Amino acid sequence: MKARRVVLIGYGAIAADIATALRAAPGPGYALAVLLRPGSSSAARVPEGVSVLEGLDAVAAFGADLVIEAAGHAAVRESVPSCLALGLPVLISSIGALHDEAIFARLVEAARGGRGRLLLASGALGGLDYVRAVRHAEQLDLRYESRKPPAAWAAELHALGHDPAELAGPVTLFSGTAREAAARYPQNLNVAAALALAGPGFEATRVDVVCDPKAGGNTHVVRASSEFGTFSLEIANRPSPSNPKSSWIVAQSILAAVDQHFSPVVML
Ligand SMILES: NC(=O)c1ccc[n+]([C@@H]2O[C@H](COP(=O)([O-])OP(=O)(O)OC[C@H]3O[C@@H](n4cnc5c(N)ncnc54)[C@H](O)[C@@H]3O)[C@@H](O)[C@H]2O)c1
């Protein structure tokens, strides 16, 4: 069997963890390339033996079996539609970009037209299988709370006049819909978007964002109640050592999705 050919979009904290694991995977293994914006400083971190691509023509020429986006909302807008139009399956981590209905529609159209497929990783969250199962429940109430330490919200706290190092207690930064949350916090609220898309949609998914000096990590609480029963889930993720805004587990979630993508047995 030939090595699977994978293009990573971006080479930051998450992509580097993914690349390390895929490069160490046993046979047939993976041949990797990285798509970056021309002149990106991330190119210097890409390991030897992994090609750096600087445009969609190079992605097409690489002959990818799978594209993985770990770059941010802008990359979903800039590069993912063309990859889908090339007929490629594209696994995205920046699911929050889909809060924009026009972008979402464009991606779906590109996937349909090019016979590509947009794949959504569960990322920092779990339990999306349950949320999917109750998404049409008549009495569904779905709530999500993000609770992170001040390091993850330094800029936002400064903007509100708080010193992140001196925060005495929890500060609620936001309460509203998943659509507003994903739009306002592109790096932090991808999880709210994943939940909304698995569940009843962006408007019907309620979100609270809390900054808490006592938070032991990036904590996600999901509560659902419906005629089918109740569900509650709490996940405390460690921040990525290279980017406190991202949870360390995200790369592992994407790697699990890559496994599923190439596996003859799929758990849905
Ligand atoms: N689904 C989830 O649970 C979840 C959780 C955390 C992060 N994320 C997403 O993953 C993304 C990456 O996280 P990270 O911690 O690796 O970030 P990072 O800042 O460490 O790295 C981002 C990388 O993407 C590159 N990049 C930025 N814009 C680009 C573009 N338009 N085209 C190509 N490359 C581009 C940067 O140069 C850098 O290499 C985040 O922006 C976020 O949207 C999702």
Asked whether residue 98 falls in the same domain as residue 152, the answer is no
Asked whether residue 140 falls in the same domain as residue 185, the answer is yes
- Give the angle 201-113-132 at the CA atoms, nearest 5°: 25
In a domain, 244, yes or no: no
In a domain, 42, yes or no: yes
In a domain, 242, yes or no: no
Residue tagged active-site, from 73, 99, 220, 261: 220
Convert the pLDDT of each residue in 116-132 to its tens digit: 999 999 999 999 999 99
In a domain, 243, yes or no: no
The CB of 224 under 6 Å from ligand 1? The reply is: no
Calculate how far, in angstroms, residue 23's C-alpha sits from the geometric centre of ligand 1.
Answer: 20
E strand map for 13-163:
30-35, 51-53, 66-69, 89-92, 117-120, 141-148
Q: Is the alpha carbon torsion for 239, 184, 106, 34 positive or negative?
A: negative
Domain, as residue range, for 116: 4-120+249-262
In a domain, 104, yes or no: yes
Asked whether residue 219 falls in the same domain as residue 256, the answer is no
* CATH number of residue 34's parent domain: 3.40.50.720
The CB of 175 under 6 Å from ligand 1? The reply is: no
Asked whether residue 74 falls in the same domain as residue 171, the answer is no
Asked whether residue 133 falls in the same domain as residue 95, the answer is no
For the chain, the average pLDDT equals 96
Convert the pLDDT of each residue in 81-104 to its tens digit: 999 999 999 999 999 999 999 999
String of DSSP letters for 44-61: GGSPTTSEEE-SHHHHHH
Calculate how far, in angstroms, residue 268's C-alpha sits from the geometric centre of ligand 1.
Answer: 26
Asked whether residue 56 falls in the same domain as residue 133, the answer is no
In a domain, 200, yes or no: yes
Tally of domains within the chain: 2
Name which residue leads in pLDDT, 218 or 41. 41
Asked whether residue 9 falls in the same domain as residue 108, the answer is yes
Instruction: Tell how far CA 137 is from the center of its chain.
Output: 26
Asked whether residue 107 falls in the same domain as residue 60, the answer is yes
The CB of 187 under 6 Å from ligand 1? The reply is: yes
pLDDT of residue 54: 92
* CATH number of residue 229's parent domain: 3.30.360.10
Convert the pLDDT of each residue in 44-84 to its tens digit: 999 999 999 999 999 999 999 999 999 999 999 999 999 99
Atom of ligand 1 nearest to the CA of 42: 39
The CB of 123 under 6 Å from ligand 1? The reply is: yes
In a domain, 88, yes or no: yes
Asked whether residue 68 falls in the same domain as residue 35, the answer is yes
Asked whether residue 78 falls in the same domain as residue 136, the answer is no
pLDDT of residue 246: 87
152-157 mean pLDDT: 90
Among protein residues, the one with the nearest Cα to ligand 1's atom 1 is 123
In a domain, 201, yes or no: yes
Q: What burial class does residue 159 get, using C-beta atoms within 10 Å of its C-beta: 0-12 exposed, 13-18 middle, 19+ buried?
A: exposed
Asked whether residue 98 falls in the same domain as residue 197, the answer is no
Stretch among 152-156, 176-180, 191-195, 249-253 having the lowest mean pLDDT: 152-156
pLDDT of residue 187: 85
Asked whether residue 136 falls in the same domain as residue 59, the answer is no
